[in-house]
Amino acid sequence: MQDTSVSETAAVDAPAAAPTSHVVLSVDAMGGDLGPAAVVAGVAKVAQSMSDVQFLLHGRSLDLTRLVQRYKLEDRVTIRPCDGVVTMDDRPSQVMRHGEGTSMWSAIEAVRSGEATVVVSCGNTGALMALSVLRLRRLPGVNRPAIACLWPSRNPAGFNVMLDVGADVKAEANDLLQYALMGVSYARNGLDVARPRVGVMNVGTEEHKGRAELRQALDMISDVAEAGQFDCVGFVEGSDLPSDRVDVIVTDGFTGNVALKTGEGTARLVADMLRASYKATPLSRLAALVSLGVIRRLRKRMDPRRVNGGVFLGLNGTVVKSHGASDGTGVAAALELAVQLARSEFSTRLAARVAGAADAMAAAAAKAAAGTGK
């Protein structure tokens, strides 16, 4: 029997007919390895191209005032002074107890109070997730929030969605079903994919392979696919991450984080090896000159700064995590993603989809129980 709760929320996921006006982003200006200079440089890039976006910058007033004046952003930026900074070495548990008064806490509070739509931070990932869960709370029915990232692929949109990539190392079958539904919502609103294809990461594509919870999760996802207006393609492998076979890749946070870091490291290795090869001999230097346009296009396509921004899913508010080493270009990419999600009213749409997930899981559990005669 069709699960109407899921099918109704699928319509809610459709891209908004008109952009939401007056987007306000709440930005942790002190997070990240390069400090507020890189963050404000990113804000300036986005402010120049998007005239309807306002920014709340949270951090040390003296530093931010100087940078805002340098980029002539006084009419686009409101500074929220706070002296505390969450460092990359701080433990999440410590930040949860003593984080009030930090720029990260203040940035999250602005979304919690409704002053802003999306939080953007380059700061400590574990602390950001811990504070986001503490202050924004989980959506009803969500057991484990997830971090979703965009993975470069051969798809027309140019990317696949993968989650979880590090919010929680564990994931039961019910969690993976929730990840699938949240990933579908993100693919619709973030990549404009009308009917996303969902795959579950496994050690092989055969149905009998993998852990029991993966096989159970695949059955549950398959059961609600038609009602949720997405396609379940079955198990996928690591080689499918950049493929055009799938749009949403579902996995646990341990596997997803290892895959993400491996991909980043491999991209850097290939770039270094290519650079060394072109410098090896006078002839190879000449070849590099001849193919300069191709190299630049490849570099731009592989530039991780332009695919910057993991999205925390499953919370009462949208949080975008920018890479800790982001420069102005990387921060701008994360801010642009935040604007896109704000304009599509992503948080509201995701909440509607998750609200129907409990019924979907109950229906799937009932079907599984009926199949075993329980």
Higher pLDDT: 133 or 288? It is 133
Are the C-beta atoms of 23 and 43 separated by less than 8 Å?
no
Instruction: Give the Cα separation of 365 and 374 in Å (integer).
Output: 11
Q: Regarding beta strands 23-28 and 53-59, do their DSSP bridges make them parallel or antiparallel, or are they unpaired?
A: parallel
DSSP string, 274-290: HHHHHHSSHHHHHHHHH
**What is the model's pTM?**
0.80
Instruction: Give the Cα separation of 357 and 314 in Å (integer).
Output: 12
Nearest C-alpha neighbor of 120 from the set 313, 325, 349, 332: 332
**Whether residue 180 has pLDDT greater than 50:** yes
State the number of CA atoms in the 13 A half-sphere of 338 facing the CB.
Answer: 34
Cα Rg for the chain, rounded, in angstroms? 21
DSSP string, 323-368: -TT--HHHHHHHHHHHHHHHHTTHHHHHHHHHHHHHHHHHHHHHHH
Higher pLDDT: 237 or 308? It is 237
Most confident of 76-80, 89-93, 165-169, 205-209: 76-80
What is the separation of C-alpha 143 from the centre of its chain, rounded to a whole number of angstroms? 18
Instruction: Give the Cα separation of 360 and 374 in Å (integer).
Output: 19
Structure confidence by residue, pLDDT tens digits, 95-118:
998 889 999 999 999 999 999 999
Q: Regarding beta strands 77-81 and 231-236, do their DSSP bridges make them parallel or antiparallel, or are they unpaired?
A: unpaired
pLDDT tier at 278, thresholds 50, 70, 90: confident
Least confident of 7-11, 18-22, 77-81, 258-262: 7-11
DSSP state of 315: B
Tokens describing residue 7:
């099918």
Assign 6 to helix, strand or coil.
helix
Beta strand segments in the chain, E: 23-28, 53-59, 77-81, 118-121, 146-152, 159-163, 197-201, 231-236, 248-250, 310-313, 318-321
Domains of the chain and any CATH numbers: 17-142+314-343 (3.40.718.10), 150-305+345-374 (3.40.718.10)
pLDDT tier at 1, thresholds 50, 70, 90: very low
Instruction: Give the Cα separation of 353 and 141 in Å (integer).
Output: 11
Tokens describing residue 287:
């070849």
Bond into 164 cis (ω within 30): yes
Higher pLDDT: 22 or 303? It is 22
Tokens describing residue 280:
């090896």
- Residue listed under structure tokens 């939401």: 20
313 phi and psi angles, rounded to 5 deg: -115, 145
pLDDT score for 357: 59
Assign 165 to helix, strand or coil.
coil
Least confident of 53-62, 213-222, 264-273: 264-273
Structure confidence by residue, pLDDT tens digits, 42-74:
999 999 999 889 999 999 999 999 999 999 999
Are the C-beta atoms of 320 and 106 separated by less than 8 Å?
no
Are the C-beta atoms of 299 and 271 separated by less than 8 Å?
yes
Assign 20 to helix, strand or coil.
coil
Count Cβ atoms below 10 Å from residue 275 Cβ, excluding itself: 12
Assign 15 to helix, strand or coil.
coil
